[in-house]
Amino acid sequence: MRFIPATFTTAIVLALISCKKDDGGEDNDTPPPGQSGPSTAFACDDNVPHLVLKFKFDSTQVRLNNLGLPAGIPAGHAAQHPRFNTMSAHYVEFAPTMWTALGAGDVLYHAAETSAGGANAIDFAQGVRVGDGETFLCLPLSDLAPGSYEWLRVSLAYQNYDIDFRYTYLGTPYDMQGTLASFIGFNTYIASFNVGVQPVAVNDDKLQGFWAFEVIDPMIPTAPITGQAPGTTVVNPLFDSSPIPAGSCVVTGQFAQPLTITGNETEDVVITVSLSTNNSFEWNDTATPDGRYEPAAGDFVVDMGVRGMIPIVE
């Protein structure tokens, strides 16, 4: 049996707490990683045409910065493609033009909020957490006003994914995996949640950047650790014409061709919301410049945000 000392947990905490912003209800059964709520927002269970939105996590999609411009990995940094388990959204809006202010488009979904923690916050217990290819929004197409829409806005609220990391003990390197859960909405009230298989009790509001990390290894039965990062990259190519509030996570993406709704549709309109996970987990690699995430050796996280969004009409 291998032995990993308690200093391992401390190293992970210190590494993740160093995260900085890129400029510019609990179930009775054990849920899948990162999932402790309903799997779909609405059931498409009647005979009317629907608007259906599905998440896709794409590590080959262009990696963008928060201004919507292609972004490489800075010198001295390294990154990896996290393997997503679940994602949730708090808000969905269709915008006719680049000049449409946030909230002035057709808002089709606004997740439940609560003041149970003292301030207005997203109610995590009622959030919708789904995996790759799964539907996170389905509602009658008649809810979307007839017109032409060039842009989609989705406010992301929570993400859960697995990452690789290395830990060296007494000269022996161990390549390991961990599950990271991060709350990226403006403010979230959390009673409790599961990171991977282990629960975390909060019973309070948490601002954008609250995270929890769990080692995926039965040989290391350590409890999840938590921390607070100052922010995350939020891609908005309309930063000049339609800015978003600081601390929000409203990601903006453009349709390849404007989405036209006539009001006479007879079939579902299915949109895949493709999120770029291209090297979206990024760290400062100067402590151990080998391209491997080694938090105990001094590597520290600098970004955990998705790197772009493309709405694709199926």
One digit per residue, the tens of pLDDT, for the chain of length 314 reads 333 444 444 444 444 444 333 333 333 333 344 444 444 455 677 889 999 999 999 999 999 999 999 999 999 999 999 999 999 999 999 999 999 999 999 999 999 999 999 999 999 999 999 999 999 999 999 999 999 999 999 999 999 999 999 988 888 998 999 999 989 999 999 999 999 888 899 999 999 888 888 888 767 667 888 877 766 899 999 999 999 988 788 999 999 999 999 999 999 999 999 999 999 988 889 988 999 998 888 888 788 889 999 999 98
- Which residue bears the tokens 């959204």? 89
Closest CA to 87 of 107, 116, 104, 111: 111
The candidate with the shortest Cα–Cα distance to 156, out of 305, 266, 284, is: 305
Contacts of 161 by beta carbon, 8 Å cutoff, 6+ apart: 34, 82, 83, 84, 85, 179, 180, 277, 281
User: Which pTM does this prediction carry?
Assistant: 0.85
Which residue ranges make up each domain of the chain? 7-313
